[in-house]
Chains A and B, each alone.
Chain A
Amino acid sequence: MANEATIINAVARTSLWLQPHRIVLILIALGLVLSAVFFMRWDWLPQYYEMGLIGIWRSLWILAVTCILGFLFAVPLGLAQATGSFWFAAPAKAFCTVIRGTPLLIQLWLLYYGLGSLFPQNPWVRESWVWPYLRQAWPYGVLALTLSFAGYEGEVMRGAFAGVPKGQLEAARAFGMSRWKAFRRIWLPQAIYRALPTLTGETVLQLKSTPLVATISVIDIFAVSSKVRQDTYLTYEPLLLLALIYMTITGILVFAFSRIEARIPNKIG
């Protein structure tokens, strides 16, 4: 009985969603896609297929690493701004302001061209063990993206930490939890719950800033599409495919985060 009701519900919902004009629009969109598939040139695809997969993998890898590292940075940044004394809060605030006030492209170029041109001048850097890494482009890209994510997310975490009701923390202390335990069990989880919707948005923004690393010669999916364009003299096809790939990744990210959000008990605060 209940099963039947849910089926009827689902049918009603789809029929509500599939209004006549939507069907026409979907058909038009399908027509556009099909005409793009048939009338544009896609014969370069098999040749660059593998390269593209490596590029996508590298983009995703950069995204994951910078988000996780950036978030780890952001927690102390937010904490310092929310509760720290002036000597902790002021540098954290300055860091966030500087990162958020300058374009990521400039930060990236400053690190890669600026710092990268300073290092070879010092002989002791050349002799140390980090030199093989410093000669490559990706550490600069990862560093710049991490710092930028930390800067934006630090501001979000400040709000999230400040938003946890004081009574909760006092209760935790009254239970005899140590400061660290109260932070780990009460303060941090609640702050993350609060920040999660913003975190989704920030992660998508971070995904959209990963193509910038292509400008410092890291071969991600964007660089692959640029290479295809240079090799085949095609303007639109690689870019359209690239846009489609990014949209797919965004969709998957948003879906994954909404699943995580749904797991959170929603009567907080």
Chain B
Amino acid sequence: MLGLLHSVEIAVGATCLGLLIGTGGAYGKLYGGPVVRDLLAAYTTIVRAVPELVLILLLYYAGTDLINQALTAMGYQRVDISGLAAGIFVLGFVQGAYSTEVIRGAILAIPQGQIEAARAYGMSPGLLLRRITLPAMLPFAIPGLANLWLIATKDTALLAVVGFYELALATRQAAGVTKAYFTFFFAAGVLYLLLSLFSNFLIGRVEAWSRRGMPSLKEAR
């Protein structure tokens, strides 16, 4: 059960970090200068082309190592980075690449006139983002982001490979101790499935909320 809690914590943290990176990345890709655009294109392409498992290993070891080296170089003591923080950072970095693409697509789907109108009203870029772009893109982004959230919950299982204690690893240990492999992995599968189904339900509610005032999909067709 502690494992499940850890899994959910990491998934939530990673999705939040991914959303932040994604919003920034999408803005950079749409409005940034040529250098920023190319760098972001390289980031999303590379992250999406390399298996998550490899990325997790690379970032998990390289990330903690780099931070420690930087700290020692600056004369601080080495810190022990908690698995939770590292896991959130790594998965967030991966999620960021995917959500950049989703959010970029969603921002492009907003009728251009809305953004132009907001600019014409003299809104500052921050206000424009908060009041117009984010709310208006939400209905377009929710299905893609929901997929990402489900992927994030399932990717947390991969952290078991680097030895972080979450649901998959907890199950494996419990199964190894009791020798009842089938029962425990089955139970873990059911837990993940329940998590997915529950979040599907919540996402349905959120989507309905974000689409309020818009014609329903069936009518639009």
By a beta-carbon cutoff of 8 Å, the part of chain A in contact with chain B is 19, 21-22, 25, 29, 97-98, 100-107, 109-110, 113-118, 204, 207-212, 215, 222, 235-236, 239-240, 242-243, 246-247, 250-251
Contact flags (1/0) for B44-74 with A, using CB distance below 8 Å? 0010011111110110011001000000000
- A105 contacts B62, CB within 8 Å? no
Closest 5 CB pairs of A and B: A114-B182, A101-B196, A103-B157, A110-B185, A208-B51
Question: Which residue of A25, A98, A101, A240 contacts B58 across the interface (Cβ within 8 Å)?
Answer: A240
B186 to chain A, nearest CB (A): 6
Does B192 sit at the interface, judged by CB under 8 A? Answer: yes
The distance in angstroms between the C-alpha atoms of A208 and B55, with both chains bound, is 11
Additional pairs, 15, CB under 8 Å, beyond known A109-B172, A246-B49:
A97-B197, A102-B196, A103-B156, A106-B168, A106-B171, A106-B192, A113-B172, A113-B185, A114-B183, A212-B53, A212-B158, A246-B50, A247-B46, A247-B49, A247-B50
Mostly, the B contact residues are helix
9 CB contacts below 8 A, A to B, read A102-B196, A103-B168, A105-B157, A105-B158, A109-B181, A117-B181, A204-B49, A208-B53, A239-B58
Asked if A243 and B58 make an inter-chain contact with CB atoms under 8 angstroms apart, the answer reads yes
The reply to whether A105 and B51 contact each other, CB–CB distance below 8 Å, is no
In the complex, what residues of B have CB within 8 A of residue A247's CB? Answer: 46, 49-50
Q: Which residue of A lies closest to B50 (CB)?
A: A243
Instruction: Give bound CA distance, A109 to B176, whole Å.
Output: 12
Given contacts A21-B35, A105-B168, A236 and B160 within 8 Å (CB-CB): no
Chain A facing B: main interface SS: helix
A57 to chain B, nearest CB (A): 17
B39 within 8 A of A: yes
The smallest beta-carbon distance between A31 and chain B, in angstroms, is 15
Give the residues in chain A near B206, CB-CB below 8 Å. none
Q: Within the complex, what minimum Cβ distance (angstroms) separates B189 from chain A?
A: 5
Instruction: Say how far B177's CB is from chain A's closest CB, in angstroms.
Output: 13
| A247 nearest CB neighbor, chain B only | B49
Please judge, given known A-B contacts A101-B197, A106-B188, A251-B49, whether A113 and B181 are in contact too, CB under 8 Å: yes
Q: Chain A: which residue is nearest B7 at the CB level?
A: A103
Q: How many residues of B contact A (CB 8 A)?
A: 43
A117 touches B179 (CB 8 A): yes
A113-B181, A113-B185, A235-B61 as given contacts; A211 in contact with B51, CB under 8 Å: yes
Chain B positions 190 through 221: 1 when the CB is less than 8 Å from some CB of chain A, otherwise 0:
00110011000000000000000000000000
Does B161 sit within 8 A of A, measured CB to CB?
A: yes
Is B197 within 8 A of A110, CB to CB? no
Q: Which of B155-176 contact A (CB under 8 A)?
A: 155-158, 160-161, 168, 171-172, 175
Instruction: List chain A residues, Cβ under 8 A from B185.
Output: 106, 109-110, 113-114
Q: Which residues on A sit within 8 Å (CB–CB) of B62? A: 235-236
B154 within 8 A of A: yes
Task: Tell me the nearest residue of chain A to B39, going by C-beta.
Answer: A25
Q: Which residues of A contact B183 (CB under 8 A)?
A: 114
| B122 part of interface (Cβ distance < 8 Å) | no
Report yes or no: B189 in contact with A243, Cβ–Cβ below 8 A: no
| In contact, B52 and A208 (Cβ under 8 angstroms) | yes
Q: Which residue of A is nearest B194, CB measured? A: A101
Contact of B34 among A19, A104, A114 (CB under 8 A): A19
Residues of chain B contacted by A105 (CB below 8 angstroms): 157-158, 160-161, 168
- CB A39 to nearest CB in B, in angstroms, measures 15
Q: Which residues of A contact B186 (CB under 8 A)?
A: 110, 114
Choose one: B51, B65, B192; the contact of A103 (CB below 8 Å).
Answer: B192
Contact assessment for A110 and B193 in the assembled complex, using a CB-CB cutoff below 8 Å:
no
